[in-house]
Amino acid sequence: MLSAVVTTFNNAATLDACLASLAFCDEVIVLDSDSTDDTRAIAERHGARVFIESFKGYGPQKQSAIDKAAHEWVLLLDADEHLTPAGQTAIVAELQAPRADGYRLPRQEWLFWRWPHAGTRPNWQLRLFRRALAAMNAVPVHAAPEVRGRVHDLDAPFRHFGETGIAVRVDKVNRYSSGLVAYKRARRPRLRSLRLLVYPAFVFWRFYVGKRYFLNGWAGFFAARVQGFYAFLKLAKQVEAERQERD
């Protein structure tokens, strides 16, 4: 009934926890992009069906993995994510009598050196869906599945073991913001200056106060600041690209 799908590349440090949390699924698909560490050996040890394909982009790679699933329902996780025991229980119970065609699940984010305070609001992401009614979208970096049907929120928590240092996180948002420039400009041909001045600060406060990152001490403050910086980079690089075209 349920296929778990994971795409990998040199994820030996986190894959064991990911696949252990998926042991309740009827099958586990791992699509690897030519890893050079123990990723494939770990996947095979957990009994996953392992495939190897060169990286085609975030969305296309995940779609290729989804297409290999044999069951009606797909649970999509990244290799640095894992379901909590409560999440496993909630999914099993829901699939006994599904109320929707896709489900958003709450993701708890690792904040540099700690898991978030229980009062921190999670990021809800669509990760459980009927395979026949879903497909990955075309966003170049943050590709996500889209479902042709009803989508509900399901309280089935999963955790994302993110970056363990500020420098690593900043390097990642720098790369991601560069990858999004062309896509964002296609959707928003001309950037208004007021958005660049206001939006990064809004993003910081949305995370720090709205998502209650303030409950996590300095880790929450740093994480919210980096999110605001990420918003700034995406917009600033659009302005830079526009000016370069005019010059």
Given a cut of 50, the residues of the chain with pLDDT beneath it are none
Q: What is the pLDDT of residue 210?
A: 97
Q: What is the pLDDT of residue 79?
A: 97
Domain boundaries, the chain: 2-160, 166-246
Backbone CA torsion sign across 94, 159, 137, 126: positive
Q: What is the pLDDT of residue 162?
A: 86
Round to whole Å and give the CA distance between 13 and 180.
27
- Please give the model's pTM, rounded to 2 decimal places: 0.89
Pick the CATH number of 2-160 from 3.90.550.10, 3.40.50.150, 3.30.460.10, 1.10.1370.30: 3.90.550.10
Q: Identity (one letter) of the amino acid at 4? A: A
Contact 6, 79 (CB under 8 A): yes
Quote the tokens at residue 220: 């929450």
What are the pLDDT digits (tens) for 24-47? 999 999 999 999 999 999 999 999
Contact 17, 82 (CB under 8 A): yes
Q: What is the pLDDT of residue 247?
A: 66
